[in-house]
Structure 1
Amino acid sequence: MTRPWALILHYLAAGLARPAPRKVLLPPLTVEHFSAKCLDSTSAGFFLREQDPSKWIIMIDGGGLCIDALDCRKRAETDHGSSSQWPATWDPEAVPFSGGEASFANYSQVFVPYCSGDLWLGRDRERRLVIGELQMSGHLILDAVVEHLVNTTTLRTASSVVFAGSSAGGIGVFHHADWITTKLQAAGATLGADGVVVLPMAGLFFPMEWPVLWEEFRWGLEVPVDGFMASWCHLLEESFLHEGCVSAATAAGKPKRECQDVSKILPYIKAQVFMLQNQFDQYQVNHLGFCPVELCNSRTPPKTRAGEYLALLGQRSNETMKDALRQHPHWGLWAPSWFDHTNQLQRDVAARGDLQVSGRSFAEAFRSWQRGEVVQLLAGACDAGPCPLPSVEAVVMVV
């Protein structure tokens, strides 16, 4: 006869008895010291589920950005700009590391909601008129959250830390890839041999020579919109950018705003990175390149002008990722060829999907990479374009 405690352990191991991540708002003194506030100046915070004390994952949320005062004011009325209506617990199904079979199901888990509208780069310490008497303090929120966790949890003695982010969070993770280790150590954490692994999901904004606008491309122009990332950054005052890129730009007499673009900072990242990136990122096509979804989608005929537009993004995404791997041969890569932004990637990280690259799921690929294997998987395209979901790619190229 099975003992009750054994059953309890069984269910815990299967992920069926885990409590939902609970809300933790930062203490008032911490909020004021770091100015760790959402757009509307409510206190920032995170959702926490403590499990294995030696393994931690910290994931920062995504959700676009605001680009003018009106946009920011509207955003401040939502959960992406205010903590005032955050629930007491977070739905475990809404984050990609909580499922029973997920790669990080047994890790201690931190999910940091995105409420600053600034790609996690803002350093505002007070409200500003230019954005509607709001503030953008994403970097300061991260600073405060890490400090608080080191002082109040077993993160202080963790042997392994995964720093993850999706979409806007993926951009933030790229920029903070080296900062996170420095911050943890400065806060008193004693990282083990495994150290910090950086896991950006759909954070490659932008590939080299992108974005190209659809309306220009359809008439024969393939010129990227220079400074696209920086064009809205007049909203940010002294935003946080990857330190290595900023130092190199300064030494070369170039403006540091060039480092807004993730493709520009990749050569300077020293951290160990495992990239998850769709080659044909739907958001960069429909929302930033402005190709209508009825023209540019997963079933766009390859010989049409819209098909050529998708192929161009795939080509430039792949060139950017290959270049990064040449500079960082120990980085990992899992890059599917479907037309999506984050939905399917998060399903795969959560082990809720069954799609593979080179016959390997994300979980299998990531575990192999953690063991020291070189894992750089770039799925083959379908007629130079995206492969329709839910089919698994038949042709696979390993970088």
Structure 2
Amino acid sequence: MNVNSISGLKFVLFIFWPWLVNSKGEQNRLLVNMTLVQNATALGAYCLDGSLPAYHLHRGFGAGVDNWLLQFEGGGWCNDIKSCLDRSKSNHGSTRYMNKWEVFSGILSNNASFNPDFYNWNRVKIRYCDGASFSGDAKFYNGTSLLYFRGQRIWQAIILDLLPKGLGHAKKAMLSGCSAGGLATFLHCDNFTSYLPKNASVKCLSDAGFFLDERDIALNHTMRSFYEGLITLQGVEPNLNQNCTSTLYYPHLCFFPQYALPFIETPFFILNSAYDVYQFHHILVPPSSDPRRHWDHCKLNVTACDTSQLNILQGFRIDMLTALRDFYQNSTRDGMYINSCFTHCQSETQDTWFAAGSPRIHNKTIAETVGDWYFRRNISKEIDCAYPCDTTCHHMI
């Protein structure tokens, strides 16, 4: 089974001058050039096809010159040779196919009006080209095809490249990511902290990365089986949280955030929709569980869901909140923002991160809540009421 990203839902205009201009003539989105990690070969850190890993760095300024925000790119996974070979010939498996300029918006914006708390930090977008949320360490060669499963080494190579560029003396830092990149944040949060000065304020944020270990509508563990194949193929298990894997009877379950989260020592913020579109389409109702396609209309338009389907979706929300109960109730250092929008990834898009019409819970935007949490200005644990009560949502379906 090949679970693909929903990147087709994102439309990005790539034009080759440093600023993008909106309809009002305001210069508010930045394009940042790619940096290839030339020293990655020393670590054996390669994308699936053997190309060099990469990131995009936009320097901080003013009071933010010593602060760093690293953002993992998302884009699904591959869990068998065929899907990984296909991926190696795309922009999610090779830097050769990637656009060399990346739009920095939302949490990556350098405009105080659009990103009030992090606009002047050093901001880094880490490109995704391994297919295992930066966690694998293996290689495949059958005499014809060669694949590098080196996500863990890519992560290390990029960190080592950034340390002498200023990350090594950071005063404040945050590791974040969206989707598969949000999952990578759970997997690498404490490791990120270990590279930085002891007196630095280091925290982590996962956006749309809280993938549930949930049975689908046919009562199959479709996502668990998918991850098992991925973990075996890409040699992930040794890189999972060792405190987690030594506790669970099935160590591979530590790839799921709900099992790894209790063992993360660094302050953490979870941004997620309770009706995450990716999870709705691939975990709760994967194509394999709906061969007669009864859910097609509901998947395309939530207002087309019948009562039974809505009840199942409400059950998924309850299961997510149940998995987060201890995190919500017992932690004072952590934060969360669980809204009821049919969406996926909200920190990188300006309209959902911080704008006049952004989603709100108790009249607070995502950016305001994350900022309050990071800087300890206020309690930052927001849970939305159940669909369809939220009228501020930016639904993708």
Q: TM-score by structure 2 length? A: 0.80
SS at match of 1:199: strand
Among 362, 366, 373, the alignment partner of 1:362 is 366
Distance 1:47 1:314 in 2: 35
* 2:286 is the counterpart of 1:280: no
Cα shift at 1:322: 2.1
Cα shift at 1:131: 11
Distance 2:264 2:172 in 1: 19
* 2:80 is the counterpart of 1:75: no
Distance 1:362 1:330 in 2: 18
> Is the CA contact 2:107–2:347 (under 8 Å) kept in the aligned structure 1?
no
Distance 1:226 1:362 in 2: 28
Among 137, 140, 148, the alignment partner of 2:150 is 137
Tell me which amino acid in the other structure corresponds to 2:103.
Answer: D
Among 48, 72, 96, the alignment partner of 1:60 is 72
Deviates more, 1:168-177 or 1:366-375: 366-375
Distance 1:201 1:226 in 2: 19
Among 178, 187, 211, the alignment partner of 2:190 is 178
SS at match of 2:31: coil
Deviates more, 1:315-324 or 1:239-248: 239-248
Cα shift at 1:167: 0.4
Distance 1:283 1:133 in 2: 30
Aligned to 1:242: 241
Cα distance per residue 1:238-293 (max 9 Å; x no partner): 442123212334xxxx2421212211111111110011010111111112332634
1:245-256 pair list within 5 angstroms:
245-249=244-248, 254-256=249-251
SS at match of 2:129: coil
SS at match of 1:313: helix
User: For this pair of structures, how many residues does the alignment match?
Assistant: 352
- Specify every segment of 5 or more residues in structure 1 that has no aligned partner in the other structure, as ranges: 1-14, 217-221, 393-399
Distance 1:66 1:276 in 2: 24
Aligned to 1:380: 385
SS at match of 2:46: coil
Distance 2:223 2:302 in 1: 29
Cα shift at 1:368: 1.8
Distance 2:35 2:348 in 1: 27
Cα shift at 1:331: 0.8
Cα distance per residue 1:14-43 (max 9 Å; x no partner): x9599632211112xx22222111000101
Quick one: percent identity of the two aligned structures? 22
Aligned to 2:323: 320
Tell me which amino acid in the other structure corresponds to 1:363.
Answer: A
Among 9, 12, 31, the alignment partner of 2:40 is 31
Distance 1:119 1:130 in 2: 27
> Is the CA contact 2:298–2:304 (under 8 Å) kept in the aligned structure 1?
no
Aligned to 1:43: 52
> Is the CA contact 2:270–2:337 (under 8 Å) kept in the aligned structure 1?
yes
Among 146, 164, 167, the alignment partner of 1:155 is 167
Tell me which amino acid in the other structure corresponds to 2:118.
Answer: F
Cα shift at 1:159: 0.6
SS at match of 2:279: helix
Distance 1:335 1:345 in 2: 16
Aligned to 1:201: 207
Cα distance per residue 1:324-346 (max 9 Å; x no partner): 22343321011111111225774
Distance 2:344 2:170 in 1: 31
Distance 1:301 1:87 in 2: 37
Among 294, 308, 311, the alignment partner of 1:308 is 311
Distance 2:303 2:208 in 1: 21
Tell me which amino acid in the other structure corresponds to 2:208.
Answer: A
Distance 2:67 2:359 in 1: 26
Cα shift at 1:316: 0.5
Distance 2:108 2:103 in 1: 12
Distance 1:107 1:120 in 2: 24
Distance 2:40 2:335 in 1: 36
Distance 1:131 1:24 in 2: 30
Cα shift at 1:365: 1.2
> Is the CA contact 1:276–1:345 (under 8 Å) kept in the aligned structure 2?
no
Structure showing greater radius of gyration is: 1
Distance 1:115 1:92 in 2: 19
Distance 2:53 2:141 in 1: 18
CA separation of 1:130 and 1:142: change in aligned 2, threshold 3 A: farther
SS at match of 2:246: helix
Cα shift at 1:350: 4.0
> Is the CA contact 1:170–1:204 (under 8 Å) kept in the aligned structure 2?
yes
Q: TM-score by structure 1 length? A: 0.80
SS at match of 2:97: coil
- Specify every segment of 5 or more residues in structure 2 that has no aligned partner in the other structure, as ranges: 1-25
Tell me which amino acid in the other structure corresponds to 2:209.
Answer: G
Distance 1:114 1:78 in 2: 11
Cα shift at 1:86: 3.1
> Is the CA contact 1:244–1:269 (under 8 Å) kept in the aligned structure 2?
no
Cα distance per residue 1:189-218 (max 9 Å; x no partner): x3544x211010011111xxx42222x2xx
Distance 1:197 1:349 in 2: 21
1:384-395 pair list within 5 angstroms:
387=390, 390=393
CA separation of 1:223 and 1:117: change in aligned 2, threshold 3 A: closer
Cα shift at 1:317: 0.8
Among 279, 295, 300, the alignment partner of 2:298 is 295
CA separation of 1:320 and 1:347: change in aligned 2, threshold 3 A: farther
Tell me which amino acid in the other structure corresponds to 2:41.
Answer: E
Aligned to 1:8: none
